[in-house]
Structure 1
Amino acid sequence: MRGYYRHTKIVATVGPATESEQKLSQIINLGVDVIRLNMAHGTGEWVQSLVARIRSVSSQLQRQVAVMMDVKGPEIRTGPVPEAIELNIGDEFEFYTETPTPGVTGVIVNYPGLPGDVAVGSTVLVDSGLLRLEVLSKDETHVLCRVLTPGKLGSRRHINLPGVDVNLPSLTEKDERDIRAGVAAGIDFYALSFVRRSDDILVLRALLDSLGSRARIVAKIEDQSGLRNLEAIVKVTDAVMVARGDLGIEIDYHVLPLVQRRIVDNCLAEGKPVIIATHLLESMISAPMPTRAEISDVSNAVRERADAVMLSGETTTGLYPLECVEVLKNIVKSTEPVEVRGMNDAIKLTEPKSKMLRSAAVLAQELGQSGIVVFTRSGFLAYTLGALRPIGVPIYAFTDDEALFRQLLLPWGVEPFLMPFSDDPEETIQNALKYLKRRSWCDRGTWLVVITNALAHGKVIDSLQLRQIE
């Protein structure tokens, strides 16, 4: 068996600091599992060019990565201003949707429904919550506010309405254009921003189905509506992202760690992968080393048993993108081996085959220095085994489906391999075991737990086998 095996996956966002062929080669070589494309700053043409570059570099390195498109989603933003507006405590300030009120300082917003969604006395947050305003009055096209925290308001700043279920579509026209470009490029995952209800996921699913895409969907939980409907969202999505940027603005800051834990626990119970995102190593955008608090934050995400940790600005515009990936790897490597909790017993396993997977995980753990081998065309076996969280047990997932192969790069503990399957199950098993030995994943004499089909008197049955590397 190889030395340390990393179970927690790493997602890195690419941008100016990392999108060159050289930088992509370096971050892929360092061990990034999923590359994220942030469509808040991207176009369809950029997606197609970049995905082609990622695939080319991966082929050269003989190490594949999955690609995730982060769909921008609907946002409420202020319009352009000639120069930043100075706001002082107590100032009156207006948001308007058509024409300004004469003599009142204000800015236009891109959402006509704003006056109908806010209530007098409610709070409007602008620019990541740096500016806080209270609603004094409103009419059909104007919202008059009083400034509660001072600052400067620049152009096109993001607006948050804590606790308000805004009447925005789940996908904008730009989102649909981007998704179509992503399907043409072969995107593996779509992260949907500002998911408020399960129907938002179903809308995206219907679009992907209509385009013939089998990509998986990641629901980004970013506001109070998403939290209120969390259980229903987790049931219909393929994975979840704890998007702590907007989420941390929408809720009281001191409960964010508790909310993060709640989302992770809910995903563990449903067997859905969960990604912890935003500000993991924010200081490393401009500093070569993380803060002690950031180290603890990443370690906590690993100990909570998240499937993946994600870098955003750190690897898009940061000065130390490669160092950030290395830091994540080092924290994960120090944290995972001291995990003492048992497997995930919150997951609901109803099918006999699912319960067989739990037995396989227990057996592999008790064998020690073992692993589990599965053969899959749907991903069910590998995703379920990852959700069980067998500590210290690699999950070797073999598939003959290239699209699924990349989708298996996200779940915890799963190492996928692309390999043709034989009509003879025994030949397929032997090919897999030889591959693991040839590529130094397992040493001679290693005992592995194998989940496979077997023929018994002409019938195909599910089987759990013990095999030793020869």
Structure 2
Amino acid sequence: MENILIEITSKLTKLETEMARVPSEFATALSQIHPDRIVSAQNLIKYLVLRKTDIQELQNDLHHMGLSSLASCESHTHFQLQSTLERLGQEFEEKDQSTSKYGSDRICHTSEVLFGHTHQEWPSSIMVTMDSSFLEKKNLIRNLLRNGMAVARINCARDDEAVWEKMISKIREESAKEKIECKIHLDLAGPKLRVELLQKGKEAGKVKIKEGQTIWLAESKAGFTEDDVVISPGEKGVISALKIGERVFIDDGLIMAKVEKLQDKRARLKIERNSSKKSKIKAEKGINFPDSDLPISSLTSFDIACLPFVMSHADTVGFSFVRKASDLHKLREELEVFSNEIPPVILKIETKEAVDNLPQLLLEGMKHPHFGVMIARGDLAVEIGFERLVEIQEEISWLCEAAHTPVIWATQVLENLHKSGIASRAEITDAGRASMAECIMINKGDHTLKVLKTLREIAKRSRSLKLKSRLVFRELGIATNFIQGNISEE
């Protein structure tokens, strides 16, 4: 037993020494952080130091010795490590400032700024996606407020400024009458990669396909016959960025093709998987290029045109398809054209590149006092693969907790219930996990009030049982890449 304790002490001391060097080794990056977020930024980097190595064996030894296995140390990584070493006889003149309470208080404070005060009977805030039809339904917005809506989300990819203004006016009016706070979240549209049928099926808006079939991706129909299936991705520059062998997903990943040939601003694709029930490609369905480095700005000209309205009405702004830290820097620069007092930005993590760059995105976010992260699981699942979604959404949650940053759990929460009035067993379980986030976003549907009531009951029960399982930490690729890249830069 003594030998095991000596080995544990040695491994922990090595990690503690690495964490103690973070302020000096990452001095350049930390110098750009908002003063209120310095402790949070340091804790994030220290958590990445911990997660760049597989410590599962160390955790098992700690557990068997009755010591903290570091399994729930996201918000207070260095402090937890020091506390464990103290139990092994070491002393520290000064312990890390990021305690469990500090991290919890920071997340709660930022959550209140972003989502308002949590309704008394609700452990999580609820963000409801607005629809123009809500304006025609008597008392619906009032009932949404009474049943837990804390944030009203307006998708700038739909309707126009006149409709958005009517919805905001109605929400503000009902909020004042009911004396229930409701934040306004304006979601920027971002780049629209959507199917446009250029040749066969153009008139009908859909075309039949099958596995093994060849189709074309092009910007125009020139040079093709009427029998060719030709689709455009809706954005220029996409095709020239593709490489042979890269995957192309259509319609939320139901159809998967691979780039087989490139020629004259066109790409020949081979359909390798077709899970679409009707075996058709439909116009306006989404297209994803998870393997490709696309030269497309996350902030479009349409988004920039929306910014005056955003600055006049938004409590928070959603940044769709953000991929790297420079994207967030660009958005904030554009917002600051109108005022130095800009609304907090919610980073929508919905691409593989955003996941890979999450540490950098979080540090860029911490250049301002308040921001949040939305786990946009729809496009994210397509981009990273459905089988990896559980793993990745947890990794995002861990890193956000380490950065003391609130998380919005989004996409298909109780979707069957929302659309049909009946929930599946699987989505009830998913909603239980969603309730652990600081905010839950629900999309549009015919049964919004029923979804709110169900979520409230699930959230109350799930939160009352909130006790994290003991986790074991294998190497986290995101952490390794960040630490190695930044140390070489410093």
TM range (shorter): 0.5 to 0.7
2:154 match: 37
- Tell me the distance in 2 between the aligned counterparts of 1:4 and 1:241: 23
Report how many residues are paired: 333
CA contact (8 A) 2:153 2:184 kept: yes
Give the one of 177, 195, 209 matched to 1:87: 209
TM-score of the aligned structures, taking structure 1 as reference length = 0.68
Secondary structure at the counterpart of residue 40 of structure 1: coil
Give the one of 237, 254, 257 matched to 1:133: 257
CA contact (8 A) 1:70 1:192 kept: yes
- Tell me the distance in 1 between the aligned counterparts of 2:152 and 2:328: 21
- Say if 2:304 is the partner of 1:171: no
- Tell me the distance in 1 between the aligned counterparts of 2:261 and 2:286: 21
- Tell me the distance in 2 between the aligned counterparts of 1:341 and 1:93: 48
- Tell me the distance in 2 between the aligned counterparts of 1:307 and 1:32: 13
| More strand as a share of residues | 1
1:427 match: none
Secondary structure at the counterpart of residue 336 of structure 2: helix
2:231 match: 107
Give the one of 14, 17, 25 matched to 2:130: 14
- Tell me the distance in 2 between the aligned counterparts of 1:270 and 1:149: 39
Secondary structure at the counterpart of residue 64 of structure 1: coil
Secondary structure at the counterpart of residue 420 of structure 2: coil
2:31 match: none
CA contact (8 A) 1:224 1:251 kept: yes
1:182 match: 310
- Tell me the distance in 1 between the aligned counterparts of 2:234 and 2:467: 50
Deviation (angstroms), 1:79: 1.8
Give unmatched runs, 5+ long, in structure 1. 343-470
1:337 match: 464
Secondary structure at the counterpart of residue 157 of structure 2: helix
- Tell me the distance in 2 between the aligned counterparts of 1:298 and 1:285: 12
Deviation (angstroms), 1:4: 6.7
Secondary structure at the counterpart of residue 26 of structure 1: helix
CA contact (8 A) 1:17 1:321 kept: no
Deviation (angstroms), 1:149: 2.9
2:448 match: 321
1:234 match: 362
CA RMSD of aligned residues (A): 1.9
- Tell me the distance in 2 between the aligned counterparts of 1:154 and 1:85: 7
1:422 match: none
The one-letter code sitting in structure 2 at the alignment partner of 1:135 is V
1:152/1:330 Cα in 2 relative to 1: closer, same or farther (>3 Å)? Answer: same
Matches within 5 A, 1:32-431: 32-80=149-197, 81-83=202-204, 84-103=206-225, 104-150=228-274, 151-184=279-312, 186-212=313-339, 213-237=341-365, 238-302=371-435, 305-312=436-443, 316=444, 318-340=445-467
- Tell me the distance in 1 between the aligned counterparts of 2:219 and 2:164: 32
Deviation (angstroms), 1:67: 0.9
Secondary structure at the counterpart of residue 286 of structure 1: helix
- Tell me the distance in 2 between the aligned counterparts of 1:13 and 1:177: 22
Shift >6 Å, 4+ stretches: none
- Tell me the distance in 1 between the aligned counterparts of 2:236 and 2:157: 21
1:468 match: none
CA contact (8 A) 1:44 1:182 kept: no
Secondary structure at the counterpart of residue 408 of structure 2: strand
Q: Cα deviation per residue 1:65-92 (whole Å; 9 max; x = unaligned)?
A: 0011111101222225211111111221
- Tell me the distance in 1 between the aligned counterparts of 2:430 and 2:233: 35
1:406 match: none
Identity among equivalent positions (%) equals 24
The one-letter code sitting in structure 1 at the alignment partner of 2:146 is N
Please say which of residues 105-114 and 331-340 is displaced more in the overlay.
105-114
TM-score of the aligned structures, taking structure 2 as reference length = 0.65
- Tell me the distance in 2 between the aligned counterparts of 1:204 and 1:49: 26
Report 1 or 2 for greater relative contact order, CA contacts < 8 Å, sequence distance ≥ 6.
2
| More helix as a share of residues | 2
Secondary structure at the counterpart of residue 244 of structure 2: coil
- Tell me the distance in 2 between the aligned counterparts of 1:52 and 1:192: 23
The one-letter code sitting in structure 2 at the alignment partner of 1:332 is A
Deviation (angstroms), 1:139: 2.1
CA contact (8 A) 2:221 2:230 kept: no
- Tell me the distance in 2 between the aligned counterparts of 1:107 and 1:66: 40
CA contact (8 A) 1:89 1:148 kept: yes
Give unmatched runs, 5+ long, in structure 2. 1-118, 366-370, 470-490
Deviation (angstroms), 1:116: 2.0
Deviation (angstroms), 1:5: 4.7
Secondary structure at the counterpart of residue 48 of structure 1: helix
Q: Cα deviation per residue 1:418-470 (whole Å; 9 max; x = unaligned)?
A: xxxxxxxxxxxxxxxxxxxxxxxxxxxxxxxxxxxxxxxxxxxxxxxxxxxxx
The one-letter code sitting in structure 2 at the alignment partner of 1:272 is T
1:403 match: none
- Tell me the distance in 2 between the aligned counterparts of 1:339 and 1:112: 47
1:4/1:107 Cα in 2 relative to 1: closer, same or farther (>3 Å)? Answer: closer
